[in-house]
Amino acid sequence: MDHLVTCVPNFSEGRNRTTVHALIRAVQSVPGVMLLDWTMDPDHHRSVLTFVGEPDAAADAAFRAIRVATRLIDIRKHRGVHPRIGATDVVPFVPAKGVTAHDCVRLARRLGERVGRQLEIPVFLYEQAAAGPDRAPLESVRRGGLEGLARRMRSDRRWRPDFGPATLHRTAGAVVIGARPPLIAFNVNLQSGDLEVSRSIARTIRESNGGMSHVKAIGVELSSRGMVQVAMNLTDYRVTPVHAVFEAVQALASLHGVAVADSEIVGLVPQAALVDAAADALRLESFDRSLILEKKIESALEASQGSVTIARHQPARDLRALSVGQLLDAIAAATPSPAGASVSALVASCAVSLGIMGARLSRRRGETARLASIAERLGRLAQADGVAYGEYLEASRLPASDSRRPARLAQALHRATQIPLQIAELTGRAGKWLYIGRQHVKQRVQADSTVGIILCLAAAEASLHIAGENIKHQINRMFIGQIEAAMRRTAICLEELRRLCYTPPPDRSVIKEKSAQARPEKAQKRREWKSRSSITTLKRPSRSPRRSSQVKGFSGN
């Protein structure tokens, strides 16, 4: 099979095993479709199937499963903690092999039209298949639950479904179908029954509230286990890895006096995500993934079978593991990566490190942890920029006659634009934290904090410049709209930071000089007065004891 697509449908049934098995049989009834995994959860009252197959076969398997869910699941009787809008809640297609995001969009549209026409269920397209940015996020469609969606469908013409009737199906509700990159469904369970604790943590870490990039989170109750859960979707583990999210949840839980019970991954997970987590937990220095035994065996087997592999773009080195000299050599090398965005992220990391120094000297642990988390994320973004550039190179090398080339280029360029934009957003946020922290650090390091703020502004401006240059080559209008809106928001935040904390003090000598030039007679009188005062002082020696010539409070830092 040269062309494969993965489908991960979510159904609003997690307690009736007979119904879930009927969904599985529907998928397996299609020749050439392979079921990779399935899960069911009674608290979420939800089941997730993961299968792979050639595009047409995968779409047919998804339709058969939706048809079974429509017959067996009554959404009116559903009581679970997970948000949902239908018996079949969401059906995403994900590129697996030899297909592009554009191929998955076409597949989603074809399935949506069939579901709307044959099953008479309203269909909303989301993520990369969405008609516009307002309906692209899944949470936008789910907002207010089934009742909220029904109200919008009745009162707002913009919320007419993409396919199917303009009213909800009596028992099946509605369904969301789309195309997206791989994501990781990651949940952290807390040793507490306090739902507000998990909701507070979710509000803090999710991206929509200014938290961690590419993280969606909600707090839910697990009544069957007597605990609460922070349920998350990580939409790009390469930017925000699993272990960083876990550590953030653990740190926030400790502030509430709550311990982490365990964590779980729902569905499948890319191997690289777990390798990164293991390398971080073991603090492996300059870990090389090619040293993994299974990868070595796979490479050897490919070589023995005569496979020819051309490395068109070398994987980016871990910039954080290089010495200063090595880093400068890597930047100065005759290669296009690491380049502007990576350097901006590294400069921002240095700026944040100045803030960490001040927080540690002032013994402000909470501020230290917050800034350390930002520095870690900036380091990963510096690394991700090199990876994104490699993906863009691969896409640009496709033949002009290849029908996949435009979509692949647009997708790769979107990621190469998103990363510098994320660097700018995160750096601007870091600058504000440095400004807040500067008021509390020891006086001798306040100047260093100011340097950090200035560097943050410079790095953020540089990253915005890179994003602006990259967007000029984008042809996907939806991507352009999303990036330009985010750039405007970031530019406003940077201007606020600039006004807030970097207004250069006036040069007193220049003011005096200008004043003297404007009123020379006044300057002459001042000089005469000073001359007479100094003579008088010399004639009347002071009776007070001599003071040390050292300036009180001087710091050489």
CA-CA distances (angstroms) from residue 339 to 65, 291, 315, 377?
A: 47, 27, 14, 18
Tokens at residue 435, please?
Answer: 């400004």
Cα–Cα–Cα angle for 420, 335, 389, rounded to 5 degrees: 35
Residues noted as catalytic = 82
Taken in order 395, 401, 402, 403, the sign of the CA dihedral is positive
Tokens at residue 446, please?
Answer: 């306040």
CA distance linking residue 199 with residue 209, whole number of Å: 12
CA distance linking residue 481 with residue 509, whole number of Å: 49
CA distance linking residue 67 with residue 382, whole number of Å: 46
CA distance linking residue 422 with residue 418, whole number of Å: 6
Q: What burial class does residue 465 get, using C-beta atoms within 10 Å of its C-beta: 0-12 exposed, 13-18 middle, 19+ buried?
A: middle
The alpha carbon of residue 196 and the mean position of all alpha carbons in its chain are separated, in whole angstroms, by 24
* H-type alpha helices, 213-284: 242-255, 271-281
**Interacting residues of 279 by C-beta distance below 8 A, sequence separation 6+:** 287
Radius of gyration of the chain (CA): 30
Q: DSSP for 365-432?
A: HHHHHHHHHHHHHHHHHHHHHHHHHHHHHHHHTS-TT-TTHHHHHHHHHHHHHHHHHHHHHHHHHHHH
Write phi, then psi, for 388 (nearest 5 degrees): -60, -40
Cα–Cα–Cα angle for 510, 516, 517, rounded to 5 degrees: 90
The β-bridge relationship of strands 123-127 and 175-179 is parallel
Cα–Cα–Cα angle for 444, 445, 449, rounded to 5 degrees: 150
CA distance linking residue 458 with residue 348, whole number of Å: 9
CB 452 within 8 A of CB 106: no
